[in-house]
Structure 1
Amino acid sequence: MTPILSLYCVFMWVSYTESQSLSLTPSTNAVNLGQSVTFTCNVGAKDDSWVGLLKQMPGYPPQLIIYNHHSYTSPGYGPGVSTERFTSTINGAATEYQFIIKKAEVTDTAYYYCMKWFGSNVGFHSD
């Protein structure tokens, strides 16, 4: 019997603009090991923001997995993230970002966050 992983999604955004809309679906997901998982982040309207997927395991801070911008042809990745297992797509209107985990592993069991931010750089900080 193949173990089933539970993946939980929440949403957040970082921006200087009010009345932003952001949602992440599905809100919960059960997937068998080795299957693909797709998270859809709807940003409401095309703007100049970056959109990313963060992963948080219990007891650890969130980790940036993958991010994208509608004007770029390929996504960026957080430190140490496998470019072979994670990818993203953006719809033509640049309102819906899909983040895909290929071949789910036990370590993918976590909470996932959709994040939106403005600016040209993604900075990383660790203590």
Structure 2
Amino acid sequence: MQIYQKIAFSFRQWLIFQIEPKLLLLSVTLSVSGVTVVTQKPPVVTMRKGETATIDCNLGTVTGSAARWYKQTPGGVPQFVLWFYHGWSSPEYGSGFSSPKFTSNHQSTSDYRLIINNVEEGDSAVYYCKTWDNSAKQYVSQ
């Protein structure tokens, strides 16, 4: 993907399933030169199977663009989960993803949340958000 050639980022955002039915969420850091910085939180969340996971994404100075969420399993390619814009009533989903398992909401025009309901082992992956930065004319991601 061309995006990855333009953006340098390091992953720390892992949703890891542990044998004792708990899930662990770690955060991601993004290093981008001259481009809006997209950030995700929380740094770490531990939960049990069946609980609800939430990941927040701040789009920085971008306010007129949708948040796009992706899921990537170790050794796999990113899968498009959903995208959501603050002016929409509900998200649009990628192939194989749907509500109520995955959904999204927003707290402001630049703060979005991915919600994963009833977490299970198959949800273990890297989750990251991406948005279009119109001033830089490129996508920026977490």
TM range (shorter): 0.7 to 0.9
Unaligned runs of 5+ in 1: 13-17, 120-127
Q: Secondary structure at the match of 1:49?
A: coil
Counterpart residue type for residue 66 of structure 1: L
Alpha-carbon RMSD: 2.4
Q: Please point out which of 76, 88, 92 is paired with 1:76.
A: 92
Aligned to 1:97: 112
Counterpart of 1:111 (choices 126, 132, 137) is 126
Shift in Å at residue 2 of structure 1? 5.3
Q: Per the alignment, in what secondary structure is the counterpart of residue 107 of structure 1?
A: helix
The normalised TM-score by structure 1 is: 0.77
Answer 1 or 2: higher relative contact order, Cα 8 Å, separation at least 6. Answer: 1
Contact 2:62 2:133 (8 Å CA) reproduced:
no
2:100 aligned with 1:66: no
Question: What's the TM-score, normalizing by structure 2?
Answer: 0.69
Offset, 1:48: 2.3
Aligned to 2:53, which of 17, 20, 37? 37
Q: Does 1:10 align with 2:25?
A: no
Report how far residue 28 of structure 1 moved: 3.3
* Cα distance in 2 for residues equivalent to 1:11 and 1:75: 25
Alignment: residue pair count: 114
Tell me which stretches of 4 or more aligned residues in structure 1 moved more than 6 Å: none
Q: Deviations over 1:62-118 (max 9, x none)?
A: 111121112211111110113121111112x31210110011011011111111126
**Which consecutive unaligned segments of at least 5 residues does structure 2 have?**
1-18, 135-142
Q: Which amino acid aligns with 1:3?
A: P
Q: Give aligned-pair identity as a percent.
A: 33
